[in-house]
Structure 1
């Protein structure tokens, strides 16, 4: 029984028949309304919207068939169940009833108890149909509201049903068409064959394992690549339900994450992680195929100076241009692209490249399928030459050079870590050989590096273990033949190696920054020794100490010098600080400020190794130093070398013209001393006058007047 009392319209021209039908309806709990002919039945159906209609076939004005058709045309008449009352054996009337839109028929004579139950059955069936239609409409509304496409597919790969997603017909298929164009077609007629075969294979798997299967594929729609995922689940022994979702946004997000993880944010080329994975794949491929490849490690020379002087913004722009030039320089067959490599950020759909930025100003290049070592060297030299061309940034030309190291598989190593490390080692060897160079790795380089590392470790401990000591070389006044100064020279007595040459450990100290604490120790020790000599009551002797470029750039230099003078009690006029031309010229503005601070302290300033650097009259005037020391390379050829003699004489004359004192280094013979005295040189030092000696020996020299034998 319906939950609510239903209303039935009874249409018959026989009043007795209408009365019997109304009593039957009342007996089964239904309400009835009556019509005497077909026309009245149509009017009452439109006005009351009954739940069921009992309609006699033969009626005046409008027969039952015409009335049925008219009721079906009403706004509320399409779904109402209509039961036609026909003659007992009138088969033609039954056929006409169904054609007119009848739901069911009843034959005369009528069995009234059965008719009551039949009416109730038709009402229940109608109610169920209405509910199904409502549910179907709701389901289709839900399907229309979501972006996913649904379909049913047979075991043989034919579409049984297809409901496109929210974005329109055909979503997830090759041709944009309505569902009726897809239903009944085979999957190979709807999707590209390779995708269709993969989908059809997973249909079989879903039916076989009774588990959800999925397929991802890409289609070109509206000129753009779109990505889809089809999820399949078996709904019977021979049928699957499929859900197709557009995952293009997800793929773009994944690609963005991949770029952040594998692409260098500044230059857009692969980063260290991408290169390591790329190198690992190439390593495995080369092992299987018995191939060779090379790893190039490139570092820009003096890049830090560009950052420090021009700013990090210019440095970043330079790195971008360097990466662009590397792409242009290396031939496509040098950078063999593969589908599994990381794509470039500026061309998302392109294949990968074997170029990467490891960080800072370090770049790597992978050359696969190497046939000859010369090929790797040719690439390296081509890259090196390309870097020498000027880079234009903010209207200014910037010049840089590059040092490149090369390691080879399998000659130099059979794992990624070793190959990258050895290429790095070869790059540092290229720098040590003068920069702007390319070098192949060799096992001897590792021995050198290990020796270098051990020496660095030893040097770091040298100060703590009191392994450093000072020797002093006297400076003679050419006119008075008196020792008026000494130069402090640092030496290192290694616990295992013995005395280490300054030519070996001083550059290492400069490279590692240890020269700053070592230089401060030398300054304090020398000042203390000079004060000791002063306390002996002998003549005051000026002590000369070399300042490295790193020390000179230390913003605390003035405080360090003041502290050393204060703690030792040495008169500032007895301390001479020696600077090289390169140190003075590195940053003229900062140099002037530092020199002004040192002059304010009252120390003596001189230029060491003059003649080997800029040798400019302009900077000598600007920096206003008190003395310059002629480099030993000009003195060694005297008196035979006429060119050196002319240069030495010119330097002395120029310095005197600027009211500067001249010191000649490296005097090794009496003839050189006599010639320098003739040229008017003020002070001399060298092996002829005395080798670097411990303080005790110098103390003895200070106790007597020293007269050069060869000159007297």
Structure 2
């Protein structure tokens, strides 16, 4: 039953209208003046208000004004009763928000018609708002439960789906098992860095489509965050194994993607946890699958790992190490060691390579092989690398001032450092602050840095070369397309990787490769430094084939600056074999 509030100061009119409306099955509330009417409207929230315009103390316009200012009554349909019918009177009411006017005297049919029109309009508006609300709820629901980019279910949806599966687990075949797959795209940041975020988003969508194609209708694919996907995989011993599906996924993802004319290759690392042996709830299972994914990434990616309990301990240790690493720079726990580079013609020290070391207060000296990958992964390599560069340049300038004026220093640049937008400006600032001339600084770049974006790398290296800085390619021969890089990039020095040097006297292949590298470098007017020289026989071979310089444990391990300075003052030389 619709509730109508009638506000009328003439008692006979109020009584008559109330009787008429009650007869038409309306619930009627009467108010003898405007002030009472406002209070009753707020208290009873009627479906319609019929109000006289001319009333003492608070007239109809005042009533409407107060009701429209109150959020609780602002939308209630409002019909004016008035003996005035001028345009200005009608305009005043409509501007305040009146829905209709009835001019006194009015007939029964006019009153009921006006009321019916208001309720019909109210019904239409309500249906419209309901439809809009439903659409809004659907949009909100989609945002809450689905990834906006790929359209795949998100983590919340994955949680609900998992518990639905568990609730009906008794209906699954007896041989069925439930696996949670955590899928991470390997080195995905390279795609964004090289091709931009637009193509990166297209790749996400394409990966989502391929993952969906790899699973059955009973499985559930979700996009959790960034480059992380997850699958609830239902398998059995007879027709479908989780390992089989995983191999399909790895193979499918590794196939090339065509994105707006660009052929993109990418791989994935997959971690697997199983219910209930690896966890009884979805959060634990996802966490354990993620730990297994990290294990797959440590193997180089494009593979999978099942969760094992010892991964938890490894993860805790890794987290603790990361926490310590974040504080190590401000606590001055890092040190720069220097390994001499010796000229084979004279046996003299002509340069040093700066190598970072971490003296942990509890764990002792931590190998760079342990913390450098973690620094790369977390982005801490940027401030750490800048500190190494500053420290090495300042130390080398101090040695030059002490009398070793031609000594140079080689510093490794990480991938993140090399790709920063203001690399040249940053290095110039460091050189200016330390006073080291550019020609005494050599920056070592690995081939993996160059593979990401050749054109950008060439521009960066040319800028550095114009500053007078020497550029060295490190670990030569261990990457891809090495020979082509020597033609494209402005290198001044080539470092032969230690993997070739240490087998030079036992492996004919290493011997031939080393000879070829030296000969090729000479033709390209590149200086050659052999790394990892540990035996006199290796020095003899390198002298025979006119290698320029060597560094390695045979002459000196990496040492703190004060020990390196002692070597310089002593004039330590490498004995050079006499060639016959």
TM-score range, shorter chain: 0.7 to 0.9
| Counterpart position of 1:558 | 424
| Counterpart position of 2:194 | 309
Change over 3 Å in CA distance of 1:142–1:396 after alignment to 2: same
Does 2:448 align with 1:582? Answer: yes
Describe the superposition over 1:287-312 as per-residue Cα deviations: whole angstroms up to 9, x where unpaired: 99998522111122233222332233
| Counterpart position of 1:258 | 141
Change over 3 Å in CA distance of 1:637–1:450 after alignment to 2: same
Of 219, 228, 235, 1:362 maps to 228
User: 1:147: Cα distance to partner?
Assistant: 10
User: 1:252: Cα distance to partner?
Assistant: 5.6
Describe the superposition over 1:107-148 as per-residue Cα deviations: whole angstroms up to 9, x where unpaired: xxxxxxxxxxxxxxxxxxxxxxxxxxx98x979x959x9599
Of 653, 669, 677, 2:543 maps to 677
Describe the superposition over 1:553-611 as per-residue Cα deviations: whole angstroms up to 9, x where unpaired: 12222222222222222222222111112223322222222222222322222111111
Aligned residues of 1:670 and 1:710 also touching (Cα < 8 A): no
SS at match of 2:270: strand
SS at match of 1:645: helix
Aligned residues of 1:545 and 1:578 also touching (Cα < 8 A): yes
| Counterpart position of 1:401 | 267
User: 1:651: Cα distance to partner?
Assistant: 0.7
Does 2:207 align with 1:322? Answer: yes
| Counterpart position of 2:329 | 463
Describe the superposition over 1:454-491 as per-residue Cα deviations: whole angstroms up to 9, x where unpaired: 11111111111121112111111111121111111111
> Rg larger in 1 or in 2?
1
Describe the superposition over 1:421-460 as per-residue Cα deviations: whole angstroms up to 9, x where unpaired: 1122222222222111122111111111111111111111
User: 1:388: Cα distance to partner?
Assistant: 2.1
Cα-Cα RMSD: 3.3
SS at match of 2:362: coil
Change over 3 Å in CA distance of 1:257–1:419 after alignment to 2: same
SS at match of 1:451: helix
SS at match of 2:279: coil
| Counterpart position of 1:522 | 388
CA distance, structure 2, for counterparts of residue 245 and residue 689 of structure 1: 85
Aligned residues of 1:282 and 1:368 also touching (Cα < 8 A): no
Does 2:163 align with 1:276? Answer: no
Does 2:454 align with 1:454? Answer: no
Instruction: Show the 5 A alignment for 1:125-164.
Output: none
Does 2:466 align with 1:600? Answer: yes
| Counterpart position of 1:190 | none
Change over 3 Å in CA distance of 1:704–1:409 after alignment to 2: same
SS at match of 1:487: strand
| Counterpart position of 2:44 | none
CA distance, structure 2, for counterparts of residue 710 and residue 307 of structure 1: 50
CA distance, structure 1, for counterparts of residue 139 and residue 439 of structure 2: 66
Aligned residues of 2:293 and 2:305 also touching (Cα < 8 A): yes
Does 2:244 align with 1:378? Answer: yes
Aligned residues of 1:578 and 1:608 also touching (Cα < 8 A): yes
TM-score where L is the length of structure 1:
0.61
User: 1:254: Cα distance to partner?
Assistant: 4.3
| Counterpart position of 1:66 | none
Describe the superposition over 1:248-305 as per-residue Cα deviations: whole angstroms up to 9, x where unpaired: 8865664444334323333333222222222233344449999852211112223322
Instruction: Show the 5 A alignment for 1:691-710.
Output: 691-709=557-575
Point out the more displaced range, 360-369 or 526-535.
360-369
CA distance, structure 1, for counterparts of residue 133 and residue 239 of structure 2: 45
Instruction: Show the 5 A alignment for 1:429-448.
Output: 429-448=295-314
Change over 3 Å in CA distance of 1:288–1:397 after alignment to 2: same
SS at match of 2:241: helix
CA distance, structure 1, for counterparts of residue 170 and residue 319 of structure 2: 33
Describe the superposition over 1:609-657 as per-residue Cα deviations: whole angstroms up to 9, x where unpaired: 1111135333222222111111111111122322211111111111111
Describe the superposition over 1:339-371 as per-residue Cα deviations: whole angstroms up to 9, x where unpaired: xxxxxxxxxxxxxxx222113232221124766
User: 1:323: Cα distance to partner?
Assistant: 2.1
Change over 3 Å in CA distance of 1:692–1:500 after alignment to 2: same
Does 2:548 align with 1:663? Answer: no
Aligned residues of 2:385 and 2:417 also touching (Cα < 8 A): yes
Gap regions ≥5 residues in structure 1: 1-133, 149-164, 167-243, 336-353
SS at match of 1:488: strand
TM-score where L is the length of structure 2:
0.74
| Counterpart position of 1:621 | 487
Aligned residues of 2:348 and 2:574 also touching (Cα < 8 A): no
| Counterpart position of 2:501 | 635
Aligned residues of 2:347 and 2:576 also touching (Cα < 8 A): no
Aligned residues of 1:403 and 1:437 also touching (Cα < 8 A): yes
Describe the superposition over 1:402-432 as per-residue Cα deviations: whole angstroms up to 9, x where unpaired: 2211111211112222112112222222222
Higher relative contact order (CA 8 A, sep 6+): 2
Give the paired residue count.
Answer: 468
Aligned residues of 2:184 and 2:270 also touching (Cα < 8 A): yes
Does 2:183 align with 1:298? Answer: yes
SS at match of 1:469: strand
User: 1:517: Cα distance to partner?
Assistant: 1.1
Change over 3 Å in CA distance of 1:528–1:397 after alignment to 2: closer
CA distance, structure 2, for counterparts of residue 373 and residue 438 of structure 1: 21
Instruction: Show the 5 A alignment for 1:83-232.
Output: none
Change over 3 Å in CA distance of 1:284–1:641 after alignment to 2: same
Aligned residues of 1:533 and 1:540 also touching (Cα < 8 A): no
Change over 3 Å in CA distance of 1:368–1:672 after alignment to 2: closer
Aligned residues of 1:322 and 1:387 also touching (Cα < 8 A): yes
